[in-house]
Amino acid sequence: MANSRKRHLAKTFTWRIIGTMDTMLLAWIISGNPMTGFKIGAAEVVTKMVLYYVHERTWYKINFGLDRRAERKRRMARSQEISKNIKKQHFKIDSTERVKLMNQKPCVVWFTGLSGSGKSTMANLLEAELHESGYKTYLLDGDNVRHGLCNDLAFTDEDRIENIRRIGEVSKLFMDAGMVVLCSFVSPFAADRQSVKNLVGAENFVEVYVDCPLEECERRDVKGLYKEARAGRIKNFTGIDSPFEIPESPSIVLKTAEEDPKDLLNQLLSLVEPKINFSSDVKVQSYSSQGA
């Protein structure tokens, strides 16, 4: 909830005003001295406001007692009820027309791997090269979408599944617009990756497994997340207390701890560019030959 801190502060002040007035009145009645009641009330209001606020914020961060699965079922039930009144619209301009205008074949390039494995780095390099070559692309990154589209989701298994479901639907929309979509997500569950593949079509889905040992990811720890997870301050962290299901048959495997990013980028270009170019005899231009 975006205004939770303001709400907690407001509740802290209003509750303490009521509580303090009650304490002052009781202290006055018991002691017979209004000044004593005032002093006790003043001392109490500060200490209890701090304690109450800390208590509220602590419980806000704890999942205990929250049934996310029940909420998800309710949300899905509402969605199914609403969907009865929704009809798909068909317009004059369809994906075929957009693809012609874009002069490229749309697809989804899905980067999966542990946090810190190099997914965003490789996706960023690939997009830069494709963009330089005139392709129309868009990169969806796990951290970025959680600032907006998925900012209501946590990192429970249920929320991870919903996160990838939403990204799959967004990717499909981008593909319908004729774009080459690059997706960089931990996406630890094989079933979720398969669902996206089914959604956009197997022929349009390139699964890139960014393979990097956990030890190396921890050594890099670019965002400091592994340290937090090891200390118990981050729960359900992939590779620590939540599993990562290795892809059984990815389109390509990038070993970022063993090979140079330029070499890996050349491998990606060799796989992706022929897939998105209308010309059947496309010649892939290597990264190194462009002077980068």
Residue 187 is among the residues annotated as catalytic for this protein: yes
Q: Which of 115, 187, 251, 270 is catalytic?
A: 187
Cβ atoms 110, 185 nearer than 8 A: yes
In angstroms, the CA 278 to CA 2 distance is 46
Closest CA to 210 of 243, 188, 229: 188
Closest CA to 68 of 163, 3, 142: 163
SS3 label, residue 95: helix
Closest CA to 257 of 223, 218, 213: 213
In angstroms, the CA 220 to CA 226 distance is 9
Closest CA to 137 of 178, 169, 103, 187: 178
E-strand stretches of 58-152: 107-112, 137-141
89, 91, 98, 100, 232 from 94: Cα distances, Å:
11, 7, 6, 10, 50
E-strand stretches of the chain: 107-112, 137-141, 180-184, 205-211, 252-255
In angstroms, the CA 72 to CA 78 distance is 10
Residues recognised as catalytic: 187
